[in-house]
A and B are shown apart, each in its own frame.
Chain A
Amino acid sequence: MGRYVARRLLQMIPVFIGSTLIIFLMMYALPGDPVRAMMGDQAYDPSVVASKRKELGLDLPILQQYWNYLSGLVQGDFGTQIASQQPIADVIARVFPVTIRLTIFAFAFVSIVGIGLGIIAGLRPDTLRDRGLLTLTLILVSMPSFVLGFLLQWLLAFQWPIVKPTVQDDTDITQLLLPAIVLASLSLAYVARLTRTSIAENLRADYMRTAVAKGLPRRRIIGVHLMRNSLIPVVTFLGIEIGNLMTGAIVTEGIFNVGGVGNEIYQALIRREGATVVGIASLMVLIYLAASLIVDLLYAVLDPRIRYA
């Protein structure tokens, strides 16, 4: 187990480097120049621009810039936001808690409602109830989150004003409710469908017949024998979804004006702030990789058939 974790951690390093390198190269292939953007009128003096570029290390070959960035990252230095001169670590510390709150909220929603709906549908496959829920999830999947976001905003804030259209205070849980639902909807639909399929499939498994033949009460057959098997793929899928929820926040935070990571990275992209984009993106890649490692370990704990190879 320990050796497996160590090997997986080692394997994560090249993947992390590769992923961040691609993002880094893309960002610095941008035609815009953040120094010119920052300095405005002063930029007419090429020597000032050049010295500023040197100061920021922007005159170095791109791979060397990447190397400098990476070695800074190892020491916890995400770089500096060029426009505001703030360390990016501070920016992340400011906006990250907001997105974490939103994501946790959405994640709870995905797990509870998604699995719940999936169980309700899966236990009675091919009934009206099952088909109804499948249709509902299909509709949810086909609505991009900006569509669902505006729809709910229009209905709940303007048609029947029961919520505020945008988030004024992102520490207020009730205000985060609507964005969390919108953020959750896609994953929720996937989780419901996956749970449903998994349960319906396991329901026909031989070991379920054995459990009945053992004279076990229905509660136990469903609760222990069916769920234990059916939820393994769901749990692993949920782990991967954490990363998707965080990037999904880019759209949701924009619609509801939540001051989180998504908004920050979007603004940085528009302003062509390479360092901020790469900094936040590196963090997201890291979260994604950590989540998939945890999922793999969890998978092995839940399913004894999986060996650490």
Chain B
Amino acid sequence: MPDKTAEKVTTATGEPIPAAAVATDAGPAPAKARSLWSDAWHDLRRQPLFIISSVLILLLLVIAIWPGLFTSASPRQADLAKHYLQKPQWGHFFSPEWLGYDGQGRSIYARVIYGARASITVGVGVTLCVTVLGTFIGMIAGYFGGWIDSILSRVTDVFLGIPFLLGALVVLNTFEKRSVWVVILALAFLGWTQIARVARGAVITIKQADYVMAAKALGASTTRILFRHILPNALAPIIVVATIALGGYIAAEATLSFLGIGLTEPTISWGGDVSAGREQLRNAPFTLIVPSVMVSVTVLSFLMFGDAVRNALDPKLR
């Protein structure tokens, strides 16, 4: 690697994660000394982006947990008499026929409501796994350096060398039945590298901070230094990358399911429904437009949320 004076780490949206987001020093104390976190929270509450995305995400979470609150129809009940040519009844809010019926005569409205659970579980699940795994690996590599870092960095390179979509296709294709958990593990298996790199970079910066030196000089144990001094301060950039990546994982799950290599029946997934509706693009476009819109709105909500968090945690953008 060329010796980059300021190693740039990029998020899923390609923006550099500024080193400033790494809390290495408190800077000139304002009138009231506020921590990075309370400052960020103060900033977040005033961002329209944050408010809109939080409301949307809360709504999506409620839908995912209690889909029955939103529709009485069953997403799996097929009634060929109500086949896809029955157009949406725009006036009939929340009724099974509201958004029309798909090719097998199932209520599209019920299907998109019940499809939320899989999408969001995958998104949140992959993000959690990737964050824990990536932070752990990155922290070990960054803190210990030397040959441990060399080995872990090469392993990271190996996983980075596999194109994400292609890798996911290959991994998932080895499973006959693919539940939410299989998809989560497969995506996490391939996706941890990004967080690992960010965590490694942050830890290397923080490791040199005076307060870590002081803790070392006072004889603090390695675990104590790692978890009490380094981790809390490396968290900001990791959280930024993770929240932005969340939307990306939801999009990835939808794309894989669309390709027929993501979630399988009986799990209801928006991507799968788009794929099932593709033959009707000309005659009954709503069969794929409705789940498409749901995917996009969900991804958008999480991306906006990630953007808002980044704005708040990145003092340079203020």
Contact = CB atoms under 8 A, between A and B. Distances in A.
Direct contact between the two chains A and B in their complex (CB within 8 A): yes
B46 interface: no
A26 B174 contact: yes
A269 B303 contact: no
Interface string A138-156: 1101111111001101100
Contacts of A284: 163, 166
B16 A289 contact: no
Given A27-B170, A30-B174, A307-B2, A145 B16 contact: no
B318 to A, nearest CB: 11
A36 B15 CA distance: 49
A134 to B, nearest CB: 8
Interface residues on A, range: 35 or more
Interface string A284-305: 1100110000001001100001
A181 B197 CA distance: 31
Contacts of B275: 146
B307 interface: yes
Interface string B155-173: 1011101111111011101
A194 B5 CA distance: 19
B165 A300 contact: no
B2 A296 contact: yes
Given A144-B295, A150-B278, A237-B10, A289 B161 contact: yes
Interface in B280-299: 281-282, 285, 288-289, 292, 295-297, 299
Contacts of B16: 194, 197-198, 233
A266 B8 contact: no
Interface residues of B, number: 56
A306 B7 CA distance: 10
Given A27-B170, A281-B170, A254 B14 contact: no
Nearest to B293: A147
Contact of B158 (A15, A247, A250): A15
The majority secondary structure among interface residues of chain A is helix
B282 A158 contact: yes
A189 B299 CA distance: 14
Interface in A1-41: 4, 14-16, 18-19, 22-23, 26-27, 29-31
B165 A142 contact: no
A87 interface: no
Nearest to A274: B170
A138 B307 contact: yes
A107 interface: no
B92 interface: no
Contacts of A145: 255
Contact of A193 (B4, B5, B13, B274): B13
Contacts of B159: 19, 22
A19 B292 CA distance: 33
A265 interface: yes
B22 interface: no
A281 B271 CA distance: 24
A243 B274 contact: no
B304 interface: yes
Interface string B54-68: 000000000000000
B261 interface: yes
A251 interface: yes
Ranked 8 nearest A-B pairs via Cβ:
A18-B158, A190-B14, A19-B161, A142-B300, A247-B163, A142-B299, A309-B3, A194-B14
